[in-house]
Amino acid sequence: MSNSQTASIAASAAPAPVIAIDGPTASGKGTVAQAVANALRWQVLDSGALYRLTALAATRAAIGDDDLNGLAQAARNLDVRFENGAIWLDGGRVEETIRQEAVGNRASRIAALPAVREALLDRQRAFRCAPGLVADGRDMGTIVFPDAPLKIFLVAGAEARARRRAKQLSDKGISANLEDILRDMRERDARDTHRSVAPLVAAQDAITLDSSDWTAEETTRAILQLWSEIVA
């Protein structure tokens, strides 16, 4: 076998590249991840949606936070489909429902449970396919895709994130109290950063970007520039 054939086989066996984008809630991860994926024509993984879907499925099935086996089973058995921005759970669209604060708060609580995280780990990794994947969440660069060639830790001040979330809700016709959102956000940040399993921390080789004063377009350009430098 020639050297060129060996190199070709090795290249084909290599896993698809991943850009991991981690950070706290409302830091802009989801919007930016989708924009980067669109620009590169890659797949996108909103890992937070899987935890929100698990929280919603558990709530609908009346599974309590103390029922670890029930929660893990709900995570493993999610009947979910992602399609052109729409999210389907058990045959019904839920992309708006899972963005409600109550669902997000419960998702943050159950995300601290090892049984739930383990149940969703393989499901998240299955999104990795050619030509590449942009994955956003809390532990994409540290736990799920530790070999990602580009890891971004996207941050923003709590006040800036609370204003963004309030605007998102307002744009959807949902009344929002800024002080309540800020309080919930700080509580969620504390849970995510201090949980014993897969806490929200920057990977050692991650690049931290502060989006407090950036638009989504500016943040997207910065990440695409970093990727182009890696490719070059």
- H/E element holding 199? none
Tokens of 209: 């970007």
The span from the CA of 157 to the CA of 149, in Å, is 27
3 state SS of 16: coil
Cα(75)–Cα(73) distance, rounded to whole angstroms?
5
In CATH terms, the superfamily for domain 17-227 is P-loop containing nucleotide triphosphate hydrolases (3.40.50.300)
3-state secondary structure of 135: strand
What is the per-residue pLDDT across 126-179, written as a single tens digit (0 to 9) for each?
Answer: 999 999 999 999 999 999 999 999 999 999 999 999 998 888 888 878 788 899
> Which pTM value belongs to this model?
0.84
Return the domain boundaries, the chain.
17-227
pLDDT at 77: 92
Q: Are 163 and 213 in contact (CB under 8 A)?
A: no
User: pLDDT-derived band of residue 5, with 50, 70 and 90 as boundaries?
Assistant: very low
HEC-encoded secondary structure of 204-220: CCCEEEECCCCCHHHHH
